[in-house]
Amino acid sequence: MHETSSVGILTSGGDAPGMNSAVRAAFRSLKMREPDREIVFFREGFRGLARRLDSSSDRSVDRRAVRDIIHRGGTFLGTGRVPELVLPAADAPDRSDRLAAREAFLRVAVANLYQMNLSHLVVVGGDGSFRGARLIADTFRETFPKRPFSVVGIPASIDNDIFGSQYSIGFDTALNNVVDAIRKIRDTVESHKRAIILEVMGNTSGWLALQSAIAGGAAIVAIPEVEATHDHAAIVSRLAAGVRRDYRYFIIVVAEGVQRMVPDWSQHLAEKIELDKATRDVLGAPMEVRINSIGHLARGGSPSAFDNTLAGLLGSAAADVIQLGHLPGEAAIEGDVVVGCRGPYPVVHPLAEVVAKSPRLVTEESPLFQLSEKLMLQAAQPF
């Protein structure tokens, strides 16, 4: 390690409740062991690496910079996505222009990192953020082969789909926000004997939809990974069976990724439910269906106690990896890494492995999916 090297910290990608706590934990843990080491905060995610450093970074930050942020949602450092880091498709008509923009961005970013004498960059974010971090780290080492530099990733994503970590920061808060919405909306759909289609976030992975549906007592869940859950006819058949068993209302939770795979999925399902003859014959009238989207509300609010604790665990573990080269009691690990958790214990995986195996998806064999099959409404339900 370069004797006077600095450590950079940034938050990237979609905001997640608990990001502030992770930044605070990494900062306090680093300073506890090395009070004179310079910590640099970059603003607006990776974008802050390639802008004027005097306006996009805070150098030599002290304890006041992380005061009173642990209870705040979002990220006080700001975040964002950087399209320049995404490799364009081979047949993209503007491929050459985008490749040039990508190269220009990387050139400025690594020059700034070198100028600031950074040996480590802590990236708090999700799958896309880790891919970008790996690209930046590889470019830095190719450009400045004699200067030590590595990335330490901290998983923060309400999708909870990062390989190598049982939980990612922000998921528990989002889960509780969605379950709270389900509980609130239950009152009105039960009063009117309606069905509600509740759209939640989850583009490629359905963990948020699946766990909120289980915890909230939903009748149906549809997730991107399991195509059988998208089948309108099967869902209508299950609802008809519920009506015959005198169910007063139905809550259907669907992840946004299903909508991307099947355009207007919710609207078409609502129409088929309202037109279903079997349901109408029992009720004497069509069942009314409403569609609500929780969307970005799931990200909002103060982080849960679990997310703040998890963020503290992972932020502190990131500092251990930077300063000790390993987690306490474990073997040394070199190169770019991601610090995750297995239960209450921190674990470390190579960044390349995390990127290659993310996103972590729901499968039909997943215990939680199997649980949903037991707890939710079925067409052949015998009781």
Q: Where are the domains of the chain?
A: 6-170+303-357, 174-300
Q: Which CATH superfamily is domain 174-300 in?
A: Phosphofructokinase domain (3.40.50.460)
Report the alpha-carbon distance of residue 327 to residue 316 in Å, rounded: 10
Helix, coil or strand: residue 337: strand
What is the tens place of the pLDDT at every residue in 333-380? 899 999 999 999 999 999 999 999 999 999 999 999 999 999 999 999
- The model's pTM: 0.95
161 is catalytic: no
Q: In what order do the strands lie in the sheet with 150-155?
A: 57-58, 39-42, 6-11, 118-125, 150-155, 337-342, 345-350
Structure tokens at 185: 């909306």
pLDDT at 39: 97
* Consecutive H or E run containing 269: helix 265-275
Whether 1 has a pLDDT exceeding 70, the answer reads: no
* Consecutive H or E run containing 208: helix 207-216
Q: Do domains 6-170+303-357 and 174-300 have the same CATH topology?
A: yes
Whether 3 has a pLDDT exceeding 60, the answer reads: no
Whether 256 has a pLDDT exceeding 80, the answer reads: yes
What is the tens place of the pLDDT at every residue in 195-245? 999 999 999 999 999 999 999 999 999 999 999 999 999 999 999 999 999
Whether 2 has a pLDDT exceeding 70, the answer reads: no
| Mean pLDDT to the nearest integer, 243-252 | 95
> Using N-to-C axis directions, what is the helix angle for 232-244 and 265-275, rounded to 10°?
40
pLDDT at 90: 93
142-to-105, 136, 137, 201 alpha-carbon distances in Å? 15, 10, 9, 38
Q: Which residue in 15, 127, 159, 307 is the catalytic one? A: 159
| Mean pLDDT to the nearest integer, 280-296 | 95
The DSSP output letter for 229 is G
How much is the mean pLDDT over the chain?
95
Whether 24 has a pLDDT exceeding 80, the answer reads: yes
What is the tens place of the pLDDT at every residue in 36-57? 999 999 999 999 999 888 888 9
| CATH code, residues 6-170+303-357 | 3.40.50.450
What is the tens place of the pLDDT at every residue in 114-155? 999 999 999 999 999 999 999 999 999 999 999 999 999 999
Structure tokens at 166: 């049982």
